[in-house]
Amino acid sequence: MTQIILPLSYLIGSVTFIIGLKMLSHPDSARRGNMVAAVGMTIAILATIFLYTDEDGNKLGNYGWIFGGLIIGSVVGTLAAKKVQMTAMPEMVSLFNGMGGACAMLISIIEFKHHTTGMTELYEEAGGSIFSTIPGTLFITIIVGMVIGSVSFAGSIIAWGKLNGKIKDFSFNGQHIVNLLLLGVITALTVYIIAARPDNTIMLFYTVLGMALLYGIMFVFPIGGADMPVVISLLNSFTGVAAAFGGFLYNNPVMLTGGILVGSAGTILTILMCKAMNRSLKNVLIGSFGGGNKVAGGGGSKEQGTYKEISLNDTATLMAYASKVLIVPGYGLAVAQAQHACHELEKLLEEKGVEVNYGIHPVAGRMPGHMNVLLAEADVPYDKLKEMEDANDQMSSTNVVLILGANDVVNPAAKDDPSSPIYGMPIIEVEKAEHVIVNKRSMKPGYAGIENELFFRPKTSMLFGDAKKVLQDLVAELKQM
């Protein structure tokens, strides 16, 4: 009976992963998709714990350790997820992704130790290296899974630290050359261990482990700013691939399926984000766009002139008598937790006969879909969220654009200034609208660390202040009209 139930449980788990991933593609079904995948994962875990047997017919055992880990992890994960602010969601995703990479790394280390302990007795029988008795496929799976998991773990932790401000950008001249050399040495040692199986394999294995961790740190350190969402997506795909190697290692179909889905989805998302930024992945990893080496006003900035401010009353009047308004949300909206106030403004304007939509840039915020999730939390109708291309098509007929905390994704330098580090990145072309109102706390540059010439253009007016407070005051002004 077990021979039927266990594979069936794995099949159910794999199918629910696929269905759940499909449902995540739309906000209306995303929550249910998450639950469907979680149920499938639970079934697969319980089936493995209680029904799995090895070649000798032995069950797992160690239930105290297993359920102790499950309970502790569940409690910590639940509390962390409930307490995290929406602005901190990208760093939590990066941290959780790092834990997945660490898991894959530890699995490889444990399995390597398991298969090499006590091998000395087999030395003479093997007719050479004591490690030649380990099947080639198993050996490759262990070492490659360890390398990928280590890079994902170390890189994700650095990304987490950079997103929450605890780790600063760090780079030096020739760092990319050093990184490439380090990657080359890791690759060469890995191939040598797998092919030659030398007597010092244990020492070389842990040497590669240390170098992979160092590479994960070094390759993320110089990357910052607007490229961080791409890096998070890339590291997520690494974790998925490492998990798939774990599925090969244990001959576990559901683990293999989950890893393949995460790896392929992360890779596709990385490619799409690079396309949205009009940059190659190589340029992202080597160019260090938005890294610590950028300074405010650097990278092609020039004397901008002066900006003009607009009052709350004038802003409310301008929006109330408009026929079409486009709201462009950014990280500043998330920081201020202003999504509910924004939705209230939208509803009030629509009551006055104004058509209101939202322009969503693919890399707005700190991770893919950040703005979509933020606005969905405030029950903003999904059909009001216009992708960049649709928003740009409607821009010439838009009377007022209200930019809430967005910066780099509306910077005209991406189109007009070849010397700018963001040149070539597609943007929301707000300057084509009749009026542009920018809400910011100050004139500080955005995440990419460069000045935004939009703020100094004739059509643009600055509305300074916390996004939530400004929106609440706008609502109050509109209600009095």
For residue 126 the two structure tokens come to 């093997």
- DSSP E strands in 321-405: the ranges are 324-329, 355-360, 385-387, 400-404
Note the Cα 340 to chain centre separation in Å. 24
Tens-place pLDDT, residues 448-481: 567 888 999 999 999 999 999 999 999 999 998 7
Q: Is 71 exposed, middle or buried (0-12, 13-18, 19+ CB in 10 A)?
A: exposed
Alpha carbons within 13 angstroms on the beta-carbon side of residue 218 total: 18
Instruction: Please enumerate in sequence order all residues whose Cβ is within 8 A of that of 109, keeping only pairs 6 or more positions apart, or say none.
Output: 146, 209
What span, in angstroms and rounded, lies between the C-alpha atoms of 67 and 62?
9
* 357, 384 Cβ separation under 8 angstroms: yes
Long-range contacts of 190-194 (CB under 8 A, 24+ apart): 190/143, 190/144, 190/147, 193/143, 194/136, 194/139, 194/140, 194/143
Instruction: Report the candidate in 316, 323, 407 with the shortest Cα–Cα distance to residue 365.
Output: 407
What one-character-per-residue DSSP string does 179-232 give? HHHHHHHHHHHHHHHHHH--TTHHHHHHHHHHHHHHHHHHHHTT--GGGHHHHH
pTM of the model: 0.78
Name all contacts of 81-86 with Cβ < 8 Å and 24+ positions apart: 85/337, 86/334, 86/337, 86/339, 86/373, 86/374, 86/377
As annotated, the active-site residues are 408
Q: Please report, in tens digits, the pLDDT of each residue of the chain (481 residues total).
A: 667 899 999 999 999 999 999 998 777 788 899 999 999 999 999 999 998 887 777 788 889 999 999 999 999 999 988 888 767 777 888 899 999 999 999 999 999 988 887 555 555 455 555 666 778 888 899 999 999 999 999 999 998 888 877 887 777 788 888 888 999 999 999 999 998 888 888 899 999 999 999 999 998 888 766 577 788 888 999 999 999 999 998 889 999 999 999 999 989 988 887 876 666 777 666 654 444 434 333 444 445 568 899 999 999 999 999 999 999 998 888 888 899 999 999 999 999 999 999 999 887 776 777 788 888 888 898 889 998 999 999 999 999 999 998 888 899 988 888 887 777 788 999 999 999 999 988 877 765 567 888 999 999 999 999 999 999 999 999 998 7
Q: Which residue has the tokens 């322009």?
A: 359
Reduce the DSSP state of residue 357 to 3 states and report it: strand
* Widest pairwise Cα distance in the chain: 92
| Residue spans in the chain of domains classed CATH 3.40.50.1220 | 312-479
Instruction: Find where tokens 């707005």 sit.
Output: 364
The amino acid present at 238, given as its one-letter code, is F
- CATH number of the domain located at residue range(s) 312-479 in this protein: 3.40.50.1220
pLDDT digits (tens, 9 = 90+) for 311-358: 999 999 999 999 999 999 988 888 888 999 999 999 999 999 999 999
Q: Which residue carries 């920018």 as its tokens?
A: 438
Transcribe 96-164 into DSSP letters: HHHHHHHHHHHHHHHHHHHHHTTGGGGHHHHTS-GGGGS-HHHHHHHHHHHHHHHHHHHHHHHHHHHHT
